[in-house]
Amino acid sequence: MSRLIINKIILILSTIAALIGITFLLWILATLTIKGYYSINWHIFTADLVNNGLRNVIIGQFILAGMATAIGVPLGMLAGIYLREYGANSKFAMIIRNFSDVMMSAPSIVIGIFVYGIFVVPFGGFNGWAGSIALSIMMIPIVVSTTDSMLSLVPQELREAGIALGASKAQVILSIVLSAAKIGLITGGLLAFARVIGETAPLLFTSANNNFLSLSLNGQYPSLTVSIYQLATFPSQTSQNLAWAGSVILTLLVLFINLTTRFIFKPRKQ
């Protein structure tokens, strides 16, 4: 009897906690939608920040995140392949896994300060390369963990069959193992991209911001997240409206990426 009572109490408390979380989430989304709806217009997509638009910072955010993906995803995948296919359950591989888990929970501002010390100060100022490197450092442990997990789901029999046919270990990994886990690997890459596309703290210390459209990463670089932070602190109502518009755009972007990831990873009926 006491177990049934405890079970009901836990169920009620869990339900209440879930409802509280959902309430705050809906509250945030509703506020963003209402504030952003009246702030979004075609002008913000065609003008730069200096002219009360967001075109340059949206493009800059994608370029920074794209460069970070080009750096972080290959490195993370290679590290994940080593852990699963070569390191297996060795002591060194376990150390790398634990270190990767710690890096996933590292505060983004700490990563920003680290990159500031080695890629901003020595080069004499803020630059887009430092911003991309900071974001890539945040992506690597996510990709490492996802790659390691996805490759562990590939049946060992597939590897043995490839080796029995005369293929080398590298050929088995590239042609069989990665092919079998490609959906999970793509999902990991998208999740890592969604994780960094909305980051602000690392960019404050690395790429700073730029009011104009720029394709050169050698100087201060425009980014949507930093612009939202700066615009929200300005007393001008126009600037605050731009911040709301940017917040809605960023929220919809992250939501779209996450929904796309779930759709890709959704099990298909045979």
Q: Which residues of 93-120 are buried (b: 16+ CB within 10 A; e: fewer)?
A: beebbeebeebeeeebeebbbbbbeebb
Assess whether 101 and 19 both reside in one domain. no
Assess whether 31 and 47 both reside in one domain. no
Assess whether 118 and 162 both reside in one domain. yes
Q: Count how many domains the chain has.
A: 2
Assess whether 104 and 227 both reside in one domain. yes
d(CA 256, CA 155): 32
**pLDDT the model gives residue 269:** 53
- Which pair of tokens denotes residue 113? 């300060």
pLDDT 10s per residue in the chain (270 long)? 678 888 888 999 999 999 999 999 899 888 888 888 888 888 889 889 888 889 999 999 999 999 999 999 999 999 999 998 888 778 888 888 888 888 888 889 999 999 999 999 998 889 999 999 999 999 999 999 999 988 988 888 888 888 888 888 888 888 889 888 888 888 888 888 988 998 898 999 999 898 888 888 999 999 999 999 999 888 888 888 899 999 998 888 888 888 877 776 665 554
In a domain, 201, yes or no: yes
- Global pTM? 0.87
Q: Nearest 5°: phi and psi at 235? A: -75, -20
Assess whether 111 and 26 both reside in one domain. no
**pLDDT the model gives residue 266:** 65
Q: Which residue carries 């490759």 as its tokens? A: 151
Assess whether 63 and 95 both reside in one domain. yes
**pLDDT the model gives residue 267:** 58
In a domain, 147, yes or no: yes
Assess whether 8 and 51 both reside in one domain. no
Assess whether 136 and 257 both reside in one domain. yes
- Those residues whose C-beta lies under 8 Å from the C-beta of residue 84, and which sit 6 or more positions away, are 147, 148, 151, 152
CATH, residue 252: 1.10.3720.10
Assess whether 138 and 179 both reside in one domain. yes
DSSP classification of residue 1: -
Assess whether 157 and 54 both reside in one domain. yes
In a domain, 270, yes or no: no
Assess whether 18 and 86 both reside in one domain. no
Domain span at residue 214?
Answer: 43-265
Provide DSSP, 4-60: HHHHHHHHHHHHHHHHHHHHHHHHHHHHHHHHHHTT--THHHHS-GGGT--HHHHHH
- Those residues whose C-beta lies under 8 Å from the C-beta of residue 188, and which sit 6 or more positions away, are 76, 142, 143, 145, 146, 147, 150
In a domain, 202, yes or no: yes
**pLDDT the model gives residue 165:** 84
**pLDDT the model gives residue 163:** 87
**pLDDT the model gives residue 140:** 93
The tally of CA atoms less than 13 A away on the side-chain side of residue 26 is 6
- Which pair of tokens denotes residue 119? 């890629």
Assess whether 255 and 239 both reside in one domain. yes
**pLDDT the model gives residue 174:** 87
